[in-house]
């Protein structure tokens, strides 16, 4: 199956579910993530879109626990950078209508303990299919930490087609 076909298949499947269902299904996933993040001090996360596992409360909880939370900000068609998140007041609508943090770029990549990575689909080998722009693949070449792919069960597939620049995750939650 081609990447574009798998993306469309997952988009079509997502449309079958209500926002309420996706929110409810997010809860046990977030609980598992909290367990994995217990010992982390610096967490790279993402501010979820409506069709993704909801990370909003998780992010605020991590900040409340004293953890440093980093969120991506899209700079242009090829690059995104990380910025520190300290609360909802840090967010502005950015590229692709995604809420992004304001503030100075975070460049101390070696300090990151765990990175949460969204995706359209994942397989058991950690191969990830993103939305097609390659932002996370490029960013992941700069970080050296545990990477957790975050998705709903229906996004876990037998095999994700990969290209030479695709970066797998260590574990899929």
CA angle 50-31-152, nearest 5°?
A: 45
pLDDT at residue 95 above 90? no
pLDDT at residue 96 above 90? no
pLDDT, tens digit, 9 for 90 and up, residues 112-143: 999 999 999 999 999 999 998 888 999 998 89
pLDDT at 107: 92
pLDDT, tens digit, 9 for 90 and up, residues 3-47: 999 999 999 999 999 999 999 999 999 999 999 999 999 999 999
Distance CA 163, CA 147 (A): 19
Domains of the chain in sequence order = 3-172 (3.40.50.10420)
Mean pLDDT of 144-163: 96
Distance CA 101, CA 84 (A): 7
């Amino acid at each position: 199956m081609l990447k574009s076909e798998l993306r469309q298949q997952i988009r079509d499947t997502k449309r079958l579910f209500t926002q309420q269902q996706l929110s409810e299904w997010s809860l046990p996933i977030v609980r598992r993530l909290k367990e994995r993040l217990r010992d982390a001090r610096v967490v790279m996360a993402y501010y979820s879109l409506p069709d993704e596992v909801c990370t909003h409360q998780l992010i605020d909880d991590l900040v409340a626990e004293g953890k440093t939370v980093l969120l991506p900000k899209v700079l242009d068609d090829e690059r995104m950078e990380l910025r520190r998140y300290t609360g909802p007041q840090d967010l502005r609508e950015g590229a692709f209508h995604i809420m992004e943090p304001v503030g100075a770029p975070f460049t101390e990549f070696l300090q990151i303990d765990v990175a949460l990575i969204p995706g359209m689909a994942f397989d058991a080998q950690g191969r990830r299919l993103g939305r097609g722009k390659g932002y996370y693949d490029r960013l992941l070449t700069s970080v050296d930490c545990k990477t957790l792919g975050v998705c709903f069960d229906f996004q876990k597939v037998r095999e994700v087609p990969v290209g030479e620049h695709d970066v797998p995750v260590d574990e899929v939650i």
